[in-house]
Amino acid sequence: MQLTFLFQHTDDLAADEAFFRDELGWQEAWRDGGHTIAYRVPDAGCQVMVSETDQPAGPMYLVPDLAAWIDAHPDLAVPVPPYRIPGGQVAGFTAPGGGAFYVFDQPDAAGE
Protein backbone atom coordinates (compact mmCIF):
# COMPACT_ATOMS: atom_id res chain seq x y z
CA MET A 1 0.00 0.00 0.00
CA GLN A 2 1.31 3.40 -0.96
CA LEU A 3 -0.10 6.59 0.55
CA THR A 4 -0.98 8.61 -2.55
CA PHE A 5 -3.63 11.17 -1.59
CA LEU A 6 -5.00 12.91 1.45
CA PHE A 7 -8.67 13.31 0.56
CA GLN A 8 -10.82 16.05 1.98
CA HIS A 9 -14.38 17.08 1.28
CA THR A 10 -15.33 20.64 0.37
CA ASP A 11 -18.60 22.45 -0.09
CA ASP A 12 -16.89 25.20 -2.10
CA LEU A 13 -14.32 23.97 -4.60
CA ALA A 14 -13.63 27.47 -5.96
CA ALA A 15 -12.77 28.79 -2.48
CA ASP A 16 -10.50 25.81 -1.80
CA GLU A 17 -8.87 26.25 -5.20
CA ALA A 18 -8.04 29.86 -4.36
CA PHE A 19 -6.76 28.85 -0.90
CA PHE A 20 -4.43 26.07 -2.05
CA ARG A 21 -3.19 28.01 -5.09
CA ASP A 22 -2.96 31.56 -3.74
CA GLU A 23 -2.49 31.16 0.01
CA LEU A 24 -0.36 27.99 0.11
CA GLY A 25 1.20 28.34 -3.34
CA TRP A 26 0.54 24.72 -4.29
CA GLN A 27 0.35 23.67 -7.93
CA GLU A 28 -2.59 21.80 -9.36
CA ALA A 29 -1.65 18.22 -10.23
CA TRP A 30 -4.90 17.27 -12.00
CA ARG A 31 -8.65 17.74 -11.88
CA ASP A 32 -11.64 15.54 -12.59
CA GLY A 33 -14.50 17.49 -14.06
CA GLY A 34 -15.70 20.40 -12.01
CA HIS A 35 -15.83 18.59 -8.68
CA THR A 36 -12.31 17.34 -7.79
CA ILE A 37 -8.85 18.95 -7.80
CA ALA A 38 -5.57 17.44 -6.59
CA TYR A 39 -2.59 19.53 -5.53
CA ARG A 40 1.09 18.72 -5.38
CA VAL A 41 2.36 19.17 -1.83
CA PRO A 42 5.95 20.47 -1.91
CA ASP A 43 8.48 18.00 -0.49
CA ALA A 44 5.83 15.33 0.14
CA GLY A 45 5.23 11.96 -1.45
CA CYS A 46 1.49 12.44 -1.75
CA GLN A 47 -1.07 14.92 -3.03
CA VAL A 48 -4.03 16.63 -1.38
CA MET A 49 -7.24 15.85 -3.25
CA VAL A 50 -10.21 18.15 -2.62
CA SER A 51 -13.64 17.09 -3.84
CA GLU A 52 -17.28 18.06 -3.60
CA THR A 53 -18.26 14.40 -3.27
CA ASP A 54 -19.98 13.45 -0.02
CA GLN A 55 -17.53 10.83 1.22
CA PRO A 56 -15.73 11.43 4.53
CA ALA A 57 -12.14 12.69 4.53
CA GLY A 58 -9.27 10.24 4.82
CA PRO A 59 -6.01 8.97 3.36
CA MET A 60 -6.04 7.10 0.04
CA TYR A 61 -3.71 4.17 -0.56
CA LEU A 62 -2.75 2.77 -3.97
CA VAL A 63 -2.65 -1.02 -4.36
CA PRO A 64 -2.02 -3.16 -7.45
CA ASP A 65 -5.48 -4.79 -7.39
CA LEU A 66 -8.39 -3.47 -5.33
CA ALA A 67 -10.51 -6.62 -5.62
CA ALA A 68 -7.62 -8.80 -4.39
CA TRP A 69 -6.96 -6.37 -1.52
CA ILE A 70 -10.61 -6.48 -0.46
CA ASP A 71 -10.60 -10.30 -0.64
CA ALA A 72 -7.51 -10.36 1.60
CA HIS A 73 -9.25 -8.16 4.22
CA PRO A 74 -12.76 -9.63 4.58
CA ASP A 75 -13.37 -8.32 8.11
CA LEU A 76 -13.10 -4.62 7.22
CA ALA A 77 -16.28 -2.55 7.05
CA VAL A 78 -16.83 -1.10 3.56
CA PRO A 79 -19.16 1.92 3.91
CA VAL A 80 -18.17 3.17 0.43
CA PRO A 81 -18.53 0.23 -1.99
CA PRO A 82 -16.11 0.03 -4.92
CA TYR A 83 -16.80 2.45 -7.74
CA ARG A 84 -15.01 3.42 -10.95
CA ILE A 85 -12.48 6.25 -11.09
CA PRO A 86 -10.32 7.23 -14.06
CA GLY A 87 -8.11 4.23 -14.77
CA GLY A 88 -9.40 2.01 -11.96
CA GLN A 89 -11.62 1.80 -8.93
CA VAL A 90 -11.75 2.90 -5.28
CA ALA A 91 -13.51 1.74 -2.10
CA GLY A 92 -13.83 3.32 1.34
CA PHE A 93 -13.23 1.52 4.63
CA THR A 94 -13.65 2.23 8.33
CA ALA A 95 -10.57 2.14 10.55
CA PRO A 96 -10.84 0.83 14.15
CA GLY A 97 -11.14 4.36 15.59
CA GLY A 98 -14.00 5.16 13.22
CA GLY A 99 -12.05 7.22 10.69
CA ALA A 100 -12.30 6.64 6.97
CA PHE A 101 -9.58 5.46 4.61
CA TYR A 102 -9.64 4.54 0.95
CA VAL A 103 -7.90 1.92 -1.14
CA PHE A 104 -7.72 2.22 -4.91
CA ASP A 105 -6.09 0.76 -7.98
CA GLN A 106 -5.46 2.20 -11.41
CA PRO A 107 -4.42 -0.67 -13.69
CA ASP A 108 -6.10 0.94 -16.72
CA ALA A 109 -3.92 4.06 -16.28
CA ALA A 110 -0.64 2.12 -16.43
CA GLY A 111 -0.33 2.47 -20.21
CA GLU A 112 -1.18 6.18 -20.36
For the segment 26-50, the average pLDDT, to the nearest whole number, is 91
Q: Is residue 92 very low, low, confident or very high in pLDDT (cuts 50, 70, 90)? A: very high
CATH of domain 2-109: 3.10.180.10
Task: Report the pLDDT value the prediction gives residue 112, as an integer from 0 to 100.
Answer: 52
Q: Are 38 and 47 in contact (CB under 8 A)?
A: yes
pTM over 0.85: yes
Residue 109 pLDDT greater than 80, yes or no: no
Cα–Cα distances (Å) from 38 to 12, 75, 97, 98, in that order, read 14, 31, 26, 25
